A and B are shown apart, each in its own frame.
Chain A
Amino acid sequence: MSIWEYANPKRFMQTSGWALPYLTVASAVCLVVGLVWGFFFTPDDFRQGSTVKIIYLHVPSALMAINAWLMMLVASLIWLVRRHHVSALAAKAAAPVGVTMTLIALATGAIWGQPMWGTYWAWDPRLTSFLILFLFYLGYMALWAAIEDPDTAADLTSVLCLVGSVFALLSRYAVNFWNQGLHQGASLSLDKEENVADVFYFPLLVSIAGFVLLFVALVLLRTRTEIRARRLSALRARERAS
């Protein structure tokens, strides 16, 4: 039993079909618990009032926006090295989910920024690099959409994903040089000292778990759709040939 068995589309369909309902329910439970707990059962912040509660959407979606790209990077590498089609399709499936997470993070940040910083948008390093990440997602998806041959498209988007990762990272540090930050530091890190207070911390963890599960469930669902679409086009091609 190794992870490579799931490179077989049939095995992947079986296992993901079995796991998908559990994942969906788990993510729904985590999201509802985390968000309701966060929105209604935590105190208002001393300075920020109730606007602090947007953290339960903002931090998990920002986290997943970056992790979705990381997942696409790993899947692209697997496609380039071992040429498993499921992996390429998973990368394709993750991109729209990732771009949605990026948009949620940007939008919630803007909504929070208006009362707190007095502006919807500032050219702060973190905000700017997120916008650049958003552009990278768009380019990646546009390239998938533009190329007809699926294998060529998978190859080209994988190479773009690798190059894009390097330059997204470079941009992340380049914008630090370019402008000073307005955005606060990490609210979550392994270094306990920096974290938000416990009363906000635990519901945040639950809603992060919810977002992770949601991402996994959505990617599995979309990958299954892609596999079915691929099978359908193969069937059609066979019918046309006969």
Chain B
Amino acid sequence: MIALLRRDLILAIRAGGGFGLGLAFFLILVVLVPFGVGPSQAMLAAIAPGILWIGALLSCLLSLDRIFQLDYEDGTLDILATSPMPLEALATIKALAHWITTGLPLTLTAPFLGILLNLPWEANIWLIASLALGTPALSALGTFGAALTVGLKRGGLLISLLVLPLYVPTLIFGAETVRRGAEGLPATTPLMLLAGITAGTLAILPFATAAALRANLR
């Protein structure tokens, strides 16, 4: 399992675009927003929590179709499925690798992009906490979407339609945490609900992902 994780990470780094692309997309999105809504500092501060969370969501989405696609095409997935490791573990490892290459860098860079959007300094701790707690759920749900569409030629658009509605609860609580943090209100309640959703997702989704993979590999 550790070997698989290492392999996935090395592939993501060496193939190029694994780390960088999602982050670059996140940066471009944040840069484009002021052009769209105008440079007013107060307005930017008001919408910053939502923009940062939606940016994180979309950059997560960007690399989803690659989670299983390459392995499926060259047959690695079949070999992994016949190995003694259960498919549920494979699903968890894949989600973890996806999180390390997208969720983690997003969490670490989000405060700097928050500066661009005039996010109050006190909100950064909440931003980091909510992204750190929320992005694992995004990766797990995304892995599920990737498993559903692995056999399709053009699954990219379909993934977004399948996965984005599943992101709604995470987005609501994540953005709410940051918004309350920015306004100086107590933000622990949404943060705890967010953590609960993530914990539940991580517990359930690997089984659904494995079921979808089994149906696709049959």
Tell me the A residues contacting B by CB distance below 8 Å.
132, 135-136, 138-139, 142-143, 146-147, 151-152, 155-156, 159-160, 162-164, 166-168, 170-171, 174-175, 177-178
Contacts of B164 in A (CB 8 A): 135
B215 at interface, CB cutoff 8 A = yes
Asked if residues B168 and A132 are in contact (CB atoms below 8 Å), the reply is yes
With the chains together, A83 CA to B151 CA distance in Å?
21
Contact of A174 among B172, B204, B216 (CB under 8 A): B172
With the chains together, A135 CA to B197 CA distance in Å?
20
With the chains together, A139 CA to B162 CA distance in Å?
5
Contacts of B152 in A (CB 8 A): 146-147
Asked if residues B144 and A138 are in contact (CB atoms below 8 Å), the reply is no
What are 9 A-B interface contacts by the 8 Å CB criterion? Answer: A135-B165, A142-B161, A155-B211, A156-B212, A159-B212, A159-B215, A162-B208, A166-B204, A171-B165
With the chains together, A141 CA to B166 CA distance in Å?
16
CB distance from A51 to the nearest CB of B (A): 31
Which residues from 116 to 150 on chain B have a C-beta closer than 8 Å to any C-beta of chain A? 144, 148-149
Asked if residues A163 and B165 are in contact (CB atoms below 8 Å), the reply is no
Contacts of A155 in B (CB 8 A): 211-212, 215
Contacts of A138 in B (CB 8 A): 161
Asked if residues B165 and A164 are in contact (CB atoms below 8 Å), the reply is yes
Asked if residues A139 and B161 are in contact (CB atoms below 8 Å), the reply is yes
Contacts of B165 in A (CB 8 A): 132, 135-136, 139, 164, 167-168, 171
Contact of B215 among A146, A152, A170, A178 (CB under 8 A): A152
